[in-house]
Amino acid sequence: MTDTLTSSADQAAKPRATGPLAGIRIVEFAGLGPGPFASMMLSDMGADVVTLMRGEQKQGLRGAIMMRGRRQIACDLKDKACVAEVLKLLDGADALIEGYRPGVMERLGFGPDAVLARNKRIVYARMTGWGQSGPLANAAGHDINYIAVTGALAAIGPSDRPVPPLNLVGDYGGGGLYLVVGILAALLEAQKSGQGQVVDCAMCDGAASLMSLFCELTTIGRWKDGRESNLLDGGAHFYGTYQCKDGEFISLGSIEPQFYAELRRLAGLDEALYDGQMDAKQWPAMKAKMAEVFKTKTRAEWCAIMEGTDVCFAPVLSLSEAPGHPHMAERKIFVDVDGVVQPAPAPRFSRTPSAIRKTVAAELGAVAKEWSGR
């Protein structure tokens, strides 16, 4: 990591670009959740991302991790003079990111027709929960709702109730990551055709796409409805979490026969009961006995026995513990930026490495003029 986040004192400086997207220019209309997350990733990878803030600049806010690496411009999108300047800015952009409800950008004067008429090669990326069409397109919602209708939420949690998996599946997996993929794919196509297009990225679409494996397993009869009934949902005794003597937890993923054999050896699971690894009818009994076994030692003691082996084992760490784990520390998966511990850019590139860059305030007219040479 070369640069760090800074305050608005660095008024005019342009964040120094590195990474495979250096030279790509993106305008982000400030929003929540997956939009800023996608913009953070694109900025980390070298894109020059300018964020249009509606009177809520965050470059001086300590801990605004997902706002890192951008030039931020405060502007009133209802002011005609500001609208004209933003349109000039978009004339020089490669991509636009917005996360408003359908129709809002059109009312503000920045709809796809208006923007593409001026800049035919721009990638116009729209991030919503329900998408730009359909009966729920204009309804309010959050991550939990978007994953509820895809089958994902129903499959996660203990047998008695579904449990929200934070907002990772809808907002950041099905939303932010698919937004990045969609933008990059459209940018590649625009390089060949010279024409931009609209990317309709919906969290419910992305969450459904993430369920592809489970649709496949259902089709071939290897997955059934009902939480804690299947191989990967906590039903299997060899794939799940167990509480230790000290109240902490460990995780197991001993699916393959050779890994399961190593689990049995190191945990002392000698009983004939464990011979039928894939006998789902016996899984509850095996889980109950294994729960007793793992409560005989602390998490640290089980780590000393199993970590680094082919058991497919890892301790369940809290977010505050994770940066101190030896593997995390060695790879610098978390970094300290001005006293704020945060995830480092991912993925990694051998020749054009990503970097966390400064967040700075900027002037709309100055950036629009800078980008006007295209």
346 and 199 in a single domain? The answer is: yes
Contacts of 293 (CB under 8 A, 6+ apart): 267, 268, 269
pLDDT in tens, 113-155: 999 999 999 999 999 999 999 999 999 999 999 999 999 999 9
Residue 229 covered by a domain: no
Q: Which long-range contacts (CB under 8 A, 24 or more apart) does 329-337 make?
A: 332/1, 335/1, 337/1, 337/4, 337/5, 337/68
pLDDT in tens, 33-68: 999 999 999 999 999 999 999 865 555 566 789 999
| DSSP string for residues in 239-305 | EEEEE-TTS-EEEEE--SHHHHHHHHHHHT--SGGGG-TT-GGGHHHHHHHHHHHHTTS-HHHHHHH
pLDDT band at 2 (very low <50, low <70, confident <90, very high): very low
Q: Indicate if 233 belongs to the active site.
A: no
pLDDT recorded at residue 11: 38
Catalytic residue among 48, 171, 205, 233: 171
pLDDT in tens, 191-225: 999 999 999 999 999 999 999 999 999 999 999 99
254 and 105 in a single domain? The answer is: no
Residue 1 covered by a domain: no
62 and 152 in a single domain? The answer is: yes
- Checking if the pLDDT of 9 tops 60, the result is no
Residue 120 covered by a domain: yes
pLDDT in tens, 301-335: 999 999 999 999 999 999 999 999 999 999 999 99
60 and 185 in a single domain? The answer is: yes
Residue 346's domain is classified under what CATH number?
Answer: 3.40.50.10540
144 and 291 in a single domain? The answer is: no
Residue 311 covered by a domain: yes
Residue 230 covered by a domain: no
Count of domains observed in the chain: 2
Q: Which residue range forms the structural domain that includes residue 284?
A: 249-315
255 and 355 in a single domain? The answer is: no
Catalytic residue among 10, 142, 200, 310: 142
Q: Indicate if 338 belongs to the active site.
A: no
Residue 143 covered by a domain: yes
CA 100 to chain centroid, in Å, comes to: 19
Residue 36: strand, helix, or coil: helix
53 and 136 in a single domain? The answer is: yes
